[in-house]
Copies of this chain bind each other. A is one copy, B any other.
Amino acid sequence: MGKRIVTLGEMMLRLKPPGFERFFQTPELEATFGGGEGNVAISLANFGLDVAFVTALPDNQLADACIRFLRGYGVNTSFVQRSGDRMGVYFLEAGANQRPSNVVYDRANSSISTAHAETFDWDAIFKDAGWFHITGITPAISETASALSLTAVKAAKECGVTVSCDYNFRKKLWNYGKTAPEVMTELVKYVDVGIANEEDCQKSLGVRLEDGDYETTIPSGELDAKRYEALTKKIFATFPNLTYQAITLRESFSASHNGWSACLYNGS
């Protein structure tokens, strides 16, 4: 199966009313688990790859079920640390037509937000690993989670592991006193492959196209490969350690209908 892939992040309990209902129209919630980095782990495991997911979860039966969920897809959960007080929860209403999707977060004080970097055995985690994936979500959760993320990418680099990072800016999360660029520009120094949409580049890294950098006649919301090439050049100039940079674009047709496209640039 090749060398192990490792991802690190938060898995939350995902609670959603049936179909397109609003909260509590029916006294029932669909209950699954979700989180960007865990979803990546599951997708890779579905392709038959050897992938481990690293996180912290409390020592209760909800977290047991979350681990069972990951393990069912073949994800290696042996590096999941049981610590802290609670699993994050988010409540989701699926959008319909003009009504947008709606999320209520209840994720403060989750186990991952209080997990200290030194409580993980990084040598064991990255032994035999070939790739490590992280996102801009975890550093946004708390000061502790930010330090955990930085320790993780450094450890990965020391072990000779390729590091990818989705810069993923989440405005609601950056509440602990630092700005995203303060944290992310340090973290991205240890990244080989960057992934982001244009807004993430601006909000997470502080890199944006200025007047004069690039002129276009392509309407906003459509993929403009030349524009993205200009943006990528500025990123490569700031982070010469990057080998690849992908720029993604989501076109939003309605609450339940999106288009996706992306460009990949080689900076080496």
Seen from chain A, the residues whose Cβ lies within 8 Å of a Cβ on chain B are 15, 19, 23-32, 60-62, 64-65, 68-69, 71-74, 85-87, 89, 91, 102, 104, 106, 108-109
If over half of A's interface residues share one DSSP class (helix, strand or loop), that class is named, otherwise mixed; here it is: mixed
Bound complex: CA of A104 vs CA of B63, how far in Å?
A: 11
Bound complex: CA of A86 vs CA of B107, how far in Å?
A: 10
Shortest beta-carbon distance, A72 to chain B, in Å? Answer: 3
21 CB contacts below 8 A, A to B, read A15-B31, A23-B61, A24-B62, A24-B68, A24-B69, A26-B28, A27-B31, A28-B29, A29-B29, A60-B104, A61-B91, A61-B104, A68-B72, A68-B73, A71-B71, A71-B72, A72-B72, A86-B106, A86-B108, A89-B106, A109-B109
B85 touches A108 (CB 8 A): yes
Closest to A69 in B: B72
Shortest beta-carbon distance, A11 to chain B, in Å? Answer: 13
Shortest beta-carbon distance, A83 to chain B, in Å? Answer: 15
Which residues on the B side are within 8 Å of A64 (C-beta)? 23
Closest to A65 in B: B24
Bound complex: CA of A14 vs CA of B142, how far in Å?
A: 28
Q: Chain B CB within 10 Å — which of A68, A87, A91 has the most? A: A68
Bound complex: CA of A13 vs CA of B166, how far in Å?
A: 34
Which residues on the B side are within 8 Å of A65 (C-beta)? 23-24
Other-chain contact of A89, B23, B60, B89 (Cβ < 8 Å)? B89
Which residues on the B side are within 8 Å of A73 (C-beta)? 68, 71
Bound complex: CA of A71 vs CA of B75, how far in Å?
A: 10
